[in-house]
Structure 1
Amino acid sequence: MRYVILLTTACLIAATAWAAAPLRPYSGCGVLLAQNAPGPEASPLPFYAEPGLERLAELDLGALPRLSGDREHPVLAVYATKGSWLKLAWDDAGRAGWVEGARAWEYRSWDDYLVGRQVKVLPGLKKNLYALKGAPREASADAGSVSRDQRVRVVQVAEDWVRLERPAGWLRWRDADGRLTVSP
């Protein structure tokens, strides 16, 4: 009986800790800078299984999970593009669908978006993701580290790495699974 109580308690503690840990979003291929302008962009967005085929959901732009910005000017992760169509997540569980790009929106690749921007290093990462490197590769020599929640300016992007202005060095901006390590 004692083991059952201990096991139940351990499961409850583990479930609480697991539920409390925020899931970092996938980076995808770029970001959508959306404007909640009057007109078709302000009405619920239809999400499709494939561009223009099989409607899955209709959601307001402000209700979508965003990387930064507010309800009126969200910055959203774009998972893929096909012509003027963008694949976006519609909930924090990662369910995604295709929406047609709108005129008031701007899609930017991560390379274009990150350069010159100040980003914040996310808390709760593995220790190796705070390490600065001398070159954009894991095997490179350490060149220092950044602290969680530290704001840093991006000077250059090379695949999954960004070169920082201060402190100087290369930092992974997304991990090997494609999840963000920085917040734009």
Structure 2
Amino acid sequence: MPIRLIVSFFCLLLLIPHEGHAAAKPRPFAGNGILLIRPPSVTDSAEPPTITLYREPGVGRLAELPPQKLPGLSQVLKTEHEETAVAVLGKRGTWLRIAYDEAGREGWVQLRRHWRYADWETFLKGRVVRLFAGMKKDVYSFRREPASSSPVQQRLSASRSLRVIRLQEEWALAMIDLSAAGWIRWRDGDGRFLIVIGETFDPQKH
């Protein structure tokens, strides 16, 4: 068999994905806030089950989709039954800009009265979070100040729970065991989540 054919054969083998080595799904973008899309109540039953997205608020229809087709935050946050959580990338009054497909295309949707919107400062305050597993060692640093050059107070594990006190840009001031306070990065430089979000802190459970 000619050497060229042998080389081509092995190159093709390298391109075939091996079972158990599929690429991990990337962590989702955080944006500026969160939109919790909830099904209409009995009194709001006249509202359509789909969401209409526009190029600009109310102008230039782009798509009409059921909420479950949107790229949600299921990797980051567990929601109630039939509830969809999506990252909000911009806001103008009652209009919110979100991504509506996995390619990252964006559109504007109008906030409905039974939905919930919150910026991340409001939503994360008081919540229990932990860091994603399998990231670079430096991400697990619990620092004295919100800066990469700040001294590391301790190294965290991905299973360690922290309670968020407040945010400062990509940094979160958090507490461990109601005693030690320090800073972690809650999103990376690209705007992707570094944390998994749990429930609101309950002192009876800690």
What is the TM-score normalised by the length of structure 2?
Answer: 0.79
1:178 matches 2:198: no
Aligned partner letter, 2:12:
T
* Residue pair 1:36, 1:42 contacting (<8 A) in 2 also: no
Aligned partner letter, 1:52:
G
Where in structure 2 are the equivalents of 1:11-160 lying within 5 Å? Answer: 11-13=15-17, 17=21, 19-38=22-41, 39=44, 43-67=49-73, 68=77, 69-70=79-80, 72-160=82-170
Higher Cα radius of gyration: 2
* Residue pair 2:94, 2:111 contacting (<8 A) in 1 also: yes
SS of the equivalent of 2:68 reads: helix
Structure 2: segments with no counterpart, 5+ residues: 198-206
Offset, 1:26: 0.9
Offset, 1:134: 1.2
**CA RMSD of superposed structures (Å):** 2.2
Question: Which of 5, 8, 12 does residue 8 from structure 1 map onto?
Answer: 12
Offset, 1:136: 0.5
* Residue pair 2:165, 2:172 contacting (<8 A) in 1 also: yes
Instruction: Tell me, in whole angstroms, the C-alpha distance in 2 between the residues paired with 1:10 and 1:162.
Output: 42
What is the TM-score normalised by the length of structure 1?
Answer: 0.87
Aligned-residue sequence identity (percent) comes to 36
**CA displacement, residues 28-51 of structure 1 (integer Å, 9 cap, x when unaligned):** 110112321233555211011111
